[in-house]
Structure 1
Amino acid sequence: MISNPSRGSLPLLFLGLGFAVLMGMAAALGRPAFLAPFVGLIGLLVLFVIPARLAFWSILVVSMVLVGPVMYFAKLDSARWVPPLLTLALYVPLAAFVLRPKKPTMDAGWPLWLFILAMFVVVAVCSTALSSPMVGEVAVASRAYFAFWSVALALAVGMLGPRDMALAWKALLVCAVIQLPVALYQYLVVAKASSRLSPWDAVVGTFPGNMEGGGASHGMGIFLLIAMAAVLSLWRTRQIHRGLAILVLLSILGSLGLSEVKAAVLLVPVVFALVYYRELLQRPALSVGAVLISVALMGTLLLVYENTFYANRGMTLSGKMPTSPLEAVKNQLNPEEVHSRSEGGGVVVSRAARMADWWQRSVRYGDPFHALLGYGIGATQISSIGTGELVRQFPYPLDMTSTNVLLWETGVIGHVLLMAVLVLAGMNCAGSARSPLVPVEHKALLEAAAAGLMIYAITLPYSNFALRAAPSQFLMVFMLGYSAYWWRVVRLGSLIRAAGPALAPQDGSENNTKTDMARKHATPRYLHG
């Protein structure tokens, strides 16, 4: 027997019945467009109740493991939209979390880089509004400029706790190991069957790409470097088993050896230096040993590249066979390296030549507005939804590097602001790692995040993965949110210590229940444990 519904549930019951009737009437009309508002409303309601942990892990798994293989093996390019749509959807539970009623607590404040990030978004919006943007190109560019920041903000406000963040780092190390078997298949099967001059470009691991034209191998290489920094930091603080650390490091080196990512290999000593910089004065022997090991690894990988990738195949920008990977790097640093492509047509332009071209058009010829603010987001983007206004004006792609994208779309101001965000957040990580309030495991991971954010900053002129590849975008915002979370923890601890006399008992007793309760309520709930 069904009991009578309570008075409070009757309005909800009638509302649900009315919604179902209207949705049924819309479906009966046979027009899918009429159902769109109802589906969107249902999706919006689901977003308000979805657990933050589920949303975060969905974004991590889809971005790092699923979207790349779907694009690569299933040749479904539209799959690149899934991670940004998930991160855009995260703004809904994020807003609900921030706006929910809370007990008065002591405010920890926010790191400076978050305000600089807000300035970066404002510059991008203003630059776009002043450049008569097209809807399509703005929609495409939103994947890089607006979507993924929700992950950083969600971590910063405490939607996830330290345990989830530590588990996320471990999941990233698992992803680093997964790169090896995937890269091995791509090298032995896909690349061997390719007739391109550089078939090894098809080795991208689980990062986005395609079998014929390559993909985000640069992003995979930088991700492996950050995973290497995490393993070294955990190993140094004895937070990881030696055998597991060796397994992860060997997997990383194997993937780097198969993918031919020269810049990533050249940055191996930089990773070691960023991880072991504190031992430079305290334990110089260890520092020297670490540097020697890193240089040996770099030299070994470059030797493998020379004997494997440059012995029989490969072309420099001038159309001649390169003799070594270092010669290929030298060509990219030559501002005069421009030649017509014999394979597929078009023009091949070195990274330095692209920068020189921007300087000549925007600065030398006197275009201060576009030099400072750019042409608006999406101006360099090539997409079936919307192509940027600058694409047809140049014989070569403008979005080869993040620096090129930022300079053309947001100008010098936008580029400087984003670089400042990465550098300041990295410095915050290094500072938080020295605090006694941070557990040892997270101290090690903060040092890895500091190294990773610095690497992102210095590789903006190298490739476009920070703004184009979903796994790289997720990794960047994850480290930024991780930095903000622990900065707030350390900052709040300092404020509580500074407020100690105000919270101290007047009678001089050390164990005072009221004082302990005051300290507890001065700390936001998400910062406990």
Structure 2
Amino acid sequence: MNLPFNLSPWRTKLRLRSEAKAQVTARGSSRKKAPIKLGLPIFMMIVAVLCGLIMGLGSIQYAILIVAIIVAPLVLLMQSTTLIAWLLVVSMIVAGCLQYFARVEQAHWMPFLILAVMLARVPLDAMRAAKPGERSDGVDLLGFLLIAFVVLVFASALVNKNPPMQALVGVKQYVFPLALTAAVTLAVAPREFWLKVWRSIPWFLIAQLPLCLYQYLFVEKGTSTAFGATGIAWDAVVGSFGGNPEGGGASGALALFLCFGIASNLALLRSQQISPRLAWLSNAAAMASIFLAEVKVVVIFLPLALLILNRAKVLKSAVSAAAWLLATLAFVVGLLLVYQVLHYSNKQTGSKSLSEIFEFATKAEQDTYTYNRETGELSRTGALKTWSQENIGRGRLVESLVGYGPAASKGFSSMFGKGTVARKYVFQLQTSSASTVLWDLGVVGGGLVAAIFVLAFVRSLSLAKRLAADPPLSALAESCAVAIALTGSGYLYNNASVNVSSVQLLASLAIGMVFVLTRFAKKQAFLPAVSSQVKVVKRQVFRPRIGT
């Protein structure tokens, strides 16, 4: 039968479709059903119930210890890059929020538990980082200083025969943060991973604004009786950096991180690693958080951070330097005026005016005998002078050199109470990180800390120049220089550089990145040399000889 049209293409298409359907059906019938894996959920439920029972008996420490014992073997199998990412999130966001909003005082141990796992992983990470047949570069001067500092911590505890729990807290305070430096140094990670870490900083800045806004409106101003807070509570605006609504918290750590984040955003923006919209949005959120937090040290931190970032332009001529000084002065005046409106002008709560606050702050630092009987605090200069009089002035040679042991100056700890030397004085010894290190580790410890920060800062600036051909890595080096400068200068301001995990880890991350960027700089210096040698060999081998 002859049809007016051809059906063969349609028949072929139907046949192929039916064959494909039959193959899929046969494959599905032969495939076994995947079993439902209930092992991990059941395991987590058992752990949760066990920890809940222990916490119900009033022992949160034992619950945390059991979780650490059970989870640690699993964490040891994780990639170091995953651990680094989780540590930053926990230290910058999770731990502080739990401590401030949920009143979990022991939450500050969370980052240190991760650091303990990192410390245990150091030999494993070292074996992974070592390449067979490749010669190790050995330990450079910065690495030697870090190792010497760790040795000093243990030596000081042994010389002073510190109690075990005090020594443990001291090791947590001084040694555990360096586990992040080791993990970053030994991590086998491409440059893209480190760029991703830095590109997450704008989101950390944005996350601070709603927290600071809530703390300003409902805690500091006392417009709500939430958490029992009434009236002005200085240092109550801490973002996600921990503390408590009544006694305040790590507002200085918040200010330091915001200033670092603003400078880091500008460095990433110049190297086209983040979009202009995200950079300016996060910087605006950071400035708003600075206005809400009332931390006067911002007038030093932010100009210093921006000066490091724009040092070439500022130091280019006397005119540019003068313009920079005028801009800095305008910023300081503007910031203090904003603080006057937002914080100091409420006379009903008894707060001071701008001029009174400035006079009190400068007078307190000029008078080395200033002593706050309510808080037990000395002035920053007074704390350093007191240490000198009580140790060098009294001829205590050993204590002046190696201190009284790690955590000996701690005013209070839930693990052991007061430190061995803190019990002898009615005033606080940990006014600043500098005074803390001097009491704990002596002049040798203070000298090692200063040398580590100075050398790491100089190397960061040097790496920024060496990596100029790779703008993203050069931006990372500049950001590291800012982080090291701010955390190092913070030793003279408060005790956050020793006692607040987020500030400690920011410094440890930046120092670890110095080693990572040094490797990248060596590779970039090696590759052009190799390529030039290859070109010479090619010319010698493939150049045709004329006249033979």
Counterpart residue number, 1:128:
157
For residues 50-78 of structure 1, give each alpha carbon's deviation from its aligned partner in whole angstroms, at most 9, with x where no partner exists.
12222111111110110001000111111
Contact in 2 for aligned 1:310/1:324 (Cα 8 Å): no
Match of 1:139?
168
- Looking at structure 2, the residues matched to 267 and 65 of structure 1 have their Cα atoms a distance apart, in angstroms, of 22
Write out per-residue CA displacement over residues 438-464 of structure 1, whole angstroms, 9 at most, x where no aligned residue: 621221121121122112222201111
Matched, 1:150 2:186: no
Rounded to whole Å, the distance in 1 between the matches of 2:428 and 2:68 is 36
Q: Is the 8 A contact 1:433 1:444 kept in 2?
A: yes
* Partner Cα separation in structure 1 for residue 236 and residue 422 of structure 2: 25
Report what 1:67 is aligned to: 95
After superposition, the C-alpha distances for 1:301-353 in whole angstroms (9 at most, x for unaligned) are 1122234333346999xx99873443243134224342453xxx453421111
CA deviation string 1:455-492 (max 9, x = no partner):
22222011111111121122111111111100122235
Q: CA deviation at 1:419?
A: 1.7
Q: Cα distance 1:94–1:346, how it changes in 2: closer, same or farther (>3 A)?
A: closer
Give, in angstroms, the shift of residue 260 of structure 1: 1.1
**Aligned to 2:492, what secondary structure does the other structure show?**
coil
Paired residues of 2:378 and 2:431 also in contact (CA < 8 A): no
**One-letter code aligned to 1:323:** S
Q: CA offsets per residue over residues 75-108 of structure 1, 9 Å max, x none?
A: 1111111100101101233321212473212434
Paired with 1:93 and 1:120, the residues of 2 have a C-alpha distance of 20
**Is residue 416 of structure 2 the alignment partner of residue 383 of structure 1?**
no
Aligned to 1:526: none
In the alignment, the residues of structure 2 paired with residue 364 and residue 313 of structure 1 have an alpha-carbon distance, to the nearest angstrom, of 45
Quote the residue 2:379 is aligned against.
350
Q: Distance in 2 between matches of 1:171 and 1:506?
A: 41
Deviates more, 1:144-153 or 1:218-227: 144-153
The aligned residue for residue 371 of structure 1 is 400
Matches of 1:346 and 1:506, distance apart in 2: 71
1:437–1:490: 8 Å Cα contact kept in structure 2? no
**Contact 1:391/1:397, CA 8 A, preserved across alignment:** yes
Q: How does 1:264-343 map to 2 (within 5 A)?
A: 264-280=298-314, 282=316, 291-312=325-346, 323-341=355-373
- 1:113 is aligned, of 102, 121, 142, to 142
Letter matched to residue 482 of structure 2: A
Q: Name the counterpart of 1:468.
A: 499
- Identify which range, 387-396 or 104-113, moves more after superposition: 104-113
Query: What secondary structure, in the 3-state scheme, does the structure 1 residue paired with 2:235 have?
Result: helix
Contact 2:292 2:342 in 1 (8 A): no
Query: For 1:340-395, what per-residue CA distance to the aligned partner results, in whole angstroms no more than 9, with x for missing partners?
Result: 53xxx453421111111111111122212111110010101221111310222111
**Hey, what does 2:435 align to over in structure 1?**
404
| Displacement after TM superposition at 1:411 (Å) | 0.5
Match of 1:4 in 2: none
Q: Which moved more, 1:131-140 or 1:141-150?
A: 141-150
Contact 1:256–1:265 (CA under 8 A) maintained in structure 2: no
Partner SS, residue 366 of structure 1? coil
Q: Secondary structure at the match of 2:330?
A: helix
- Cα distance between partner residues in 2 of 1:377 and 1:400: 16
Structure 1 residue 413 corresponds to structure 2 residue 447? no
- Note if 1:459 corresponds to 2:490: yes
Q: How do 1:482-521 and structure 2 match up within 5 A?
A: 482-494=513-525, 500=530, 504=533, 508-509=537-538
**94 and 122 in structure 1: CA distance in 2 versus 1, 3 angstrom threshold:** closer
Shifted more, 294-303 versus 358-367: the winner is: 294-303
After TM superposition, the structure 1 stretch with the greater mean CA deviation from structure 2, 233-242 or 394-403, is 233-242
Unaligned regions of 5+ residues in structure 1, if any? 1-19, 21-26, 513-529
Q: Does the 8 Å CA contact 1:128/1:375 hold for their aligned counterparts?
A: yes
| Farther-moved stretch of structure 1 (141-150 vs 285-294) | 285-294
Secondary structure of the corresponding residue to residue 419 of structure 2: coil
1:250: how far off?
Answer: 1.4
Equivalent residues of 2:487, 2:503 under 8 A apart: no
Among candidates 106, 113, 135, match of residue 85 of structure 1: 113
Post-superposition shift, 1:210? 0.4
State the TM-score, normalized to the length of structure 1: 0.81
- Seen in structure 2, the aligned counterparts of structure 1 residues 359 and 277 have a Cα distance that, compared at 3 Å, is same
Following the alignment from structure 2 to structure 1, what is the Cα–Cα distance between the partners of residues 230 and 428? 19
Partner Cα distance (1:302, 1:329) in 2: 13
User: Structure 2 vs 1, CA of residues 37 and 346 (structure 1 numbering), >3 Å: closer, same or farther?
Assistant: closer
Cα offset for 1:510?
5.4
Deviation at 1:113, TM superposition (A): 1.4
Q: In 2, are the aligned partners of 1:108 and 1:489 still within 8 Å (CA)?
A: no
Q: Report if aligned partners of 1:204, 1:215 keep a CA contact under 8 Å in 2.
A: yes
Identify if the C-alpha distance between structure 1 residues 175 and 134 changes in structure 2 by more than 3 Å, giving closer, same or farther: same
User: Where does residue 11 of structure 1 map in the other structure?
Assistant: none
SS at match of 1:160: coil
- Distance change >3 Å, CA 226–CA 37, structure 1 → 2: closer
Offset, 1:249 = 1.8
CA contact (8 A) 1:108 1:492 kept: no
- In 1: Cα distance, 2:395 partner to 2:459 partner: 38
**CA–CA distance in structure 1, aligned partners of residues 269 and 319 of structure 2:** 17
Q: Identify if the C-alpha distance between structure 1 residues 418 and 298 changes in structure 2 by more than 3 Å, giving closer, same or farther.
A: same
Q: Specify every segment of 5 or more residues in structure 2 that has no aligned partner in the other structure, as ranges.
A: 1-42, 44-49, 58-62, 223-227, 542-548
State whether structure 2 residue 242 is matched by structure 1 residue 208.
yes
Q: Using the alignment, how far apart are the partners of 1:171 and 1:108 within structure 2?
A: 31
Contact 2:180 2:509 in 1 (8 A): yes
Per-residue displacement from partner, 1:184-210 (whole Å, max 9, x unpaired)? Answer: 100001112276775131100000100
Q: Which amino acid aligns with 2:496?
A: F
Task: Please identify the structure whose Cα radius of gyration is greater.
Answer: 2
2:233 is matched with: 199
- Quote the RMSD (CA, aligned, Å): 3.5
Q: Aligned AA for 1:400?
A: T
What is the match of residue 174 of structure 1? 203
Amino acid at match of 1:258: L
Q: Is residue 229 of structure 1 aligned with residue 257 of structure 2?
A: no
The counterpart of 1:433, out of the listed 453, 457, 464, is 464
Map residues 239-254 of structure 1 onto 2, 5 A cutoff.
Answer: 239-254=273-288
What one-letter code is carried by the residue in structure 1 that aligns with 2:464?
A
User: What residue is the counterpart of 1:97 in the other structure?
Assistant: 125
Partner secondary structure for residue 202 of structure 1: coil
Q: CA offsets, 1:14-33, max 9 Å, x none? A: xxxxxx9xxxxxx9xx999x
- Displacement, 1:239? 4.0
What are the superposed Cα offsets for residues 133-168 of structure 1, whole Å, 9 maximum, x if unpaired?
Answer: 011111222222121211111111233332221111
Over 3 Å counting, the alpha-carbon distance change for 1:314 and 1:224 in structure 2 is: farther
Deviation at 1:253, TM superposition (A): 1.3
Paired letter, 1:334: Q
Partner of 1:509, secondary structure, is helix
Find the partner of 2:473 among 436, 442, 449.
442
Partner amino acid, structure 2, of 1:403: A
